[in-house]
Chains A and B, each alone.
Chain A
Amino acid sequence: EVQLVESGGGLVQPGGSLRLSCVASGFSFTYWMSWVRQAPGKGLEWVANIKQDESEKYYVDSVAGRFTISRDNAKKSVFLQMNSLRVEDTAVYYCARAGDYGHYFDSWGQGTLVTVSS
């Protein structure tokens, strides 16, 4: 069974940093992986993705230069380092796996809540 388990969320002050982790199990860790977020009561927003060999990484404009996605294939994990956090980064952050045939998201974690507030 495919499983994605996120951790690392919490309360942080504006300007602070946080590192999210996602551990995968139940499949070969050879897929593109993404982070998708959802602000309270709002829709879904793709944040970043990373290729299997880390040779390609992409970000939504609103986090480029502040967030960094990375992965450790030996530990079947993907990470999101979030710096210079803003109030508007408050959201549930989901880890998601790309599908076999394209960049749709066929498996999701349960999400971890990041709250940026003073």
Chain B
Amino acid sequence: DIQMTQSPSSLSASVGDRITITCRASQDIANYLAWFQQEPGKAPKLLIYDASTLQSGVPSRFSGRRSGTDFTLTISSLQPEDVATYYCQNYYSALGFTFGPGTKVDIK
């Protein structure tokens, strides 16, 4: 099974800060990586797929990159509405998918 790790597990930053979350796959998954945002009490929302493609309607301050088996989600200017937990998901094989453990983001 492909394992996904995320770091940090939580972070606190100021409005306007640039923040980066990292997700690492235990093996090569090419670009088959998605990022989700989950606000408390709500369903997850797709932000990015194929490692760097922004889902329609998602603000451009969100971006994704891949370097080998490392993936990053960056918020270029943190906004109050970005307070949420962020998850990565590998979808390399239809036989099974795995999520990272999540990164909780809040405002200082």
Give the residues in chain B near A94, CB-CB below 8 Å. 43-44
Interface size, B (range): 20 to 34
Can you show 19 pairs from A to B with CB atoms below 8 A apart? A34-B97, A36-B44, A43-B99, A43-B102, A44-B89, A44-B102, A46-B96, A46-B97, A49-B97, A56-B94, A58-B94, A99-B49, A102-B32, A102-B49, A104-B46, A104-B49, A105-B36, A106-B46, A106-B49
Please count the residue pairs between chain A and chain B whose beta carbons lie under 8 angstroms apart in the complex: 64
Chain B contact residues, majority secondary structure = strand
- A44 & B99 in contact (Cβ 8 Å cutoff): yes
Closest Cβ neighbor of A98 among chain B residues = B91
Closest Cβ neighbor of B99 among chain A residues = A44
Q: Does A45 contact B (CB under 8 A)?
A: yes
Please give the residue numbers on chain B whose beta carbons come within 8 Å of chain A beta carbons, in ascending order. Answer: 32, 34, 36, 38, 43-46, 49-50, 55, 87, 89, 91, 94-102
- Contacts A44-B99, A94-B44, A106-B55 aside, 11 further interface pairs with beta carbons under 8 A come to A43-B99, A44-B44, A44-B87, A46-B89, A46-B98, A102-B32, A103-B32, A104-B49, A107-B46, A108-B43, A111-B43
